[in-house]
Amino acid sequence: MSTDGRLLIVGAGQAGVQTASSARELGWQGPITLLGAEPYPPYARPPLSKAFLSGTATQDRLALRSAEFYSDHRIDLVLDERVQHLDLAGDGTGSAVTDSGRQRSFDRLVLATGAEPRRLPLEGAGLAGVVVLRDLDDASVLAGRLAAADSLVVVGGGFVGLEVAATAAAAGVRVSVVETASSLMNRVVSPVTAEIVASAHRAAGIRVLTGLRPARFVGDGHHAVTAVELDNGEHLPADLVLIGVGARPRDDLAATAGLHCDYGVVVDDRSVASDGHTLAVGDCANLPDPSPGPGPAARVRLESVDNAVEQARAAAGTLVGAPPPSRGVPWFWSDQGSLKLQIAGLARPDDEVVVRVGKRPGQHTALRYRGPGLVAVECVDSPADFLTVRKALTAGVELSREAAADTGVPLKQHLSAALTSAQR
């Protein structure tokens, strides 16, 4: 397989940077161009809702790599240039036309175009003070408005919304969270874990409302938001509203180029798209569920640093013809004020839940079972349990429900016994 061609990576986020880095490390000899639509050097997004928003981390501290890294690894980092059109040939070669009118030819193409925040088609959605959070510009706008805000309403009880809510409450802002579902983070955690998290936020002074949805955003005579009207008729005062209802993959470019897309660019476990040549990684990709254990889903789209790194490494291996790397179990984390939530594995709503309550108030581990097997774990302020179960999930070590429920013995000890038994 030739490794001396021109490699173009569209998207300079975590997945794009990791693909460029890993491709060079694995032996790609040809030119590598990393094309970013934003004017800023590649940066980490998770701190935007926490450290950056609170002012404890500057933009410089968010950088994924130093400026010297790109020159040392012969990666041509091009910023503030967005691809408008792709021409793909049958052999995977082609060209990309950017908004500046420049045409960039390539021999291999990687799409790392990420995702964009969903918005709500409601009356008043265009009012000043109704914002989203996805990139550095969004975070800068939110930070500026938050500094002058008295009341914030967060629409959506997912990771980003809850992280911003906790950051704002710690700064003295009056905060309400509105979640349409019956519990927070209902697509990713069990109701018992969701209630632990909700209780922690309520204890921090945040009003948490579930089972309600916004009906419209109310403004004043200056086109600025003043309240959120809920579908039960209640008005929540708000001089700032964050819409945190998820993101959609940026797959329009791929779809227009003729690649198969289905809520993301459809790829195989080597990150290869439907044409057999183009690769797609990160938040824009729809991939086979990498979960070990019983009954994985057919396909998933994962938004996490872990997936961006793992999938990018798989793509780099594909580019140079290396054997596919083994994948660990998918994992996620969310720092919400003083609360740390860690998840390993992909659970489903009908999975059985076994709860272990920790020694400290609020400390909590929920193990998720599907059929006979352990498939996921949710840990609140229990990092040791998280690391132990994550390793067990990756290794395929089984832990019985009875052992999981026995809180008199540490999980690490239970799993060590299970591993010993499996090796006999």
**3 state DSSP class of 254:** helix
187 and 69 in a common domain:
no
109 and 142 in a common domain:
no
- Residue 342 pairs in a beta bridge with 333, 379
Does 336 reside within a domain? no
Of the candidates 364, 377, 367, which has an alpha carbon nearest to the alpha carbon of residue 403?
Answer: 367
- Measured CA to CA, the distance from residue 37 to residue 9 in angstroms comes to 12
Per residue of the chain (424 residues), what is the pLDDT tens digit? 689 999 999 999 999 999 999 999 999 999 999 999 999 999 999 999 999 999 999 999 999 999 999 999 999 999 999 999 999 999 999 999 999 999 999 999 999 999 999 999 999 999 999 999 999 999 999 999 999 999 999 999 999 999 999 999 999 999 999 999 999 999 899 999 999 999 999 999 999 999 999 999 999 988 999 999 999 999 999 999 999 999 999 999 999 999 999 999 999 999 999 999 999 999 999 999 988 766 677 899 999 999 999 999 999 999 999 988 888 899 999 999 999 999 999 999 999 999 998 888 889 999 999 988 899 999 999 999 999 999 889 888 888 888 888 888 888 888 777 766 665 5
What is the span of the domain harbouring residue 287?
7-116+248-320
Residue with tokens 């032996």, as numbered in its chain: 27
Residue with tokens 């929920």, as numbered in its chain: 366
In this prediction the pTM is 0.95
User: Is the Cβ–Cβ distance between 286 and 264 less than 8 Å?
Assistant: yes
Does 327 reside within a domain? no
301 and 221 in a common domain:
no
150 and 106 in a common domain:
no
Q: How far is CA 284 from CA 197, 206, 307, 329, in A?
A: 29, 33, 11, 20
125 and 213 in a common domain:
yes
If one counts the domains in the chain, the total is 3
